Amino acid sequence: VADGDRSTRLLICEDDADAGYTIQSILSAHGYASDLVTTVRDGIAHARSQPYSAVLLDLTLADSDGMEVMRALSAEKDTRRLPVIIISGMPAQHEIDGEAYVGWLQKPFDPPRLIQLVQRAVRRSGERKAVILHVDDDDDTRELFSAALAGRGALLGAATLSAARSIITNQRPDAIVLDLGLPDGSGRELLEHIRKTHPALSIIVYSAQEVDATTRSLADAVLVKSRRALPRLASTVLEMIDRQATAG
């Protein structure tokens, strides 16, 4: 499962294990969390159990026609507007009715096309939440920050500099929480790069490392990493985003 919180979580209904894991891998590389199910029954149950941002639906599932999932979701108030991306080995043969339908993804598909449809679906799934990129190679830290946000932002995760650069290019986050100690280099490299390419982007350095004066001057805020600091980190990020929105 990719890193992220429920506000950016996607549900994949796909009975082909290889295809399902491929989709999960592509989504994970772009910072999206996902759950994978193989049956109509599990697809409906999962969609009812938590607020997904979108459903990626194969029309051929292990127990029945995938369209049964879409019909079930459209029949319920809480899920009728949940965006659905159809996945099929066949080209689109007819237009799918309903406001939930986002687009048709024919196998084999190009990853950029998948991400394009996912981005469209996420934009459509209700009120837009601020997109926050958390760059930290510690899984527990990212999970704890996700809990501290409590769904108040759409959280993307990256454990390396290279993954973070890819997400920044593809997702254009509203704010970044950045650890300095990363497996493939220093977070300061990314900080310097962002200041040149996206100077208005809010960046909060959240690290246990000593932060020098130059790094402090490049960041909008610096917090020492600890569990006690997580609520303050969440509020700091959201306040910065609010100020950005007001100024814009």
pLDDT (tens digit per residue) in 68-82:
998 898 888 778 888
Buried residues in 41-55 as b, exposed as e (16+ CB within 10 A): bbbbebbeeeebbbb
Alpha helices in 90-160 (DSSP H): 111-124, 139-149
Can you give the residue ranges of every domain in the chain? 6-124, 131-247
Q: What is the pLDDT of residue 92?
A: 73
- Please list the ranges in the chain whose pLDDT falls under 50: 1-6
DSSP 65: B
Matching fold, domains 6-124 and 131-247: yes
Q: What is the pLDDT of residue 1?
A: 33
Contact, 40 vs 63, CB < 8 A? yes
Q: In angstroms, rounded to a whole number, what is the distance separating the alpha carbons of residues 63 and 76?
A: 21
DSSP 97: P
Look up the CATH number of domain 131-247: 3.40.50.2300
pLDDT (tens digit per residue) in 184-241:
999 999 999 999 999 989 999 999 999 999 999 999 999 999 988 998 898 899 888 8
Q: What is the pLDDT of residue 245?
A: 64
Q: In angstroms, rounded to a whole number, what is the distance separating the alpha carbons of residues 176 and 179?
A: 10
Instruction: Please name the CATH architecture into which domain 6-124 falls.
Output: 3-Layer(aba) Sandwich (3.40)
Q: What is the pLDDT of residue 203?
A: 97
Q: What is the pLDDT of residue 181?
A: 95
What does pTM read for this prediction?
Answer: 0.54
The two three-digit tokens of residue 36, written as one number: 């994978």
Alpha-carbon dihedral of residues 179, 116, 43, 28, nearest 10 degrees? -30
Beta-carbon contacts of residue 158 (< 8 Å; ≥ 6 apart): 3, 31, 133, 134, 135, 164, 166, 167
Contact, 190 vs 135, CB < 8 A? yes
